[in-house]
Amino acid sequence: MPELPEVETTRRGIEPHIRGKTITGVIIRQPQLRWPVPPELPVLLHHRKLKHVSRRGKYLLLTFTNGTLLLHLGMSGSLRILPSETT
């Protein structure tokens, strides 16, 4: 599990790539986590523009006009930016 410096490094690494971008699609690979992922999440995020990426403890906060998406890096500690043609 990543520690605070790794989470901050991840935040700084992804922010320039995703800030100001618009969500065009959401893929939920594992809907049953500690808290279930709401099935309406793809609809809530579709065509939303990412305003800001911040961190609170070990959580990444992705702020949109309609709310904030909370991300935790889990045990792997990784978050990847992949080309759109990657499935």
Contact of 73 with 2, CB cutoff 8 Å:
yes
Q: How far apart are the C-alpha atoms of 77 and 2, rounded to whole Å?
A: 5
For 21, residues 6+ apart whose C-beta sits below 8 A from its C-beta are 49, 50
Q: Which amino acid type is present at position 47?
A: H
The residues annotated as belonging to the active site are 2-3
User: Residue 23 is encoded by which pair of tokens?
Assistant: 């969500």
Q: Quick check: helix, strand or coil at residue 13?
A: helix
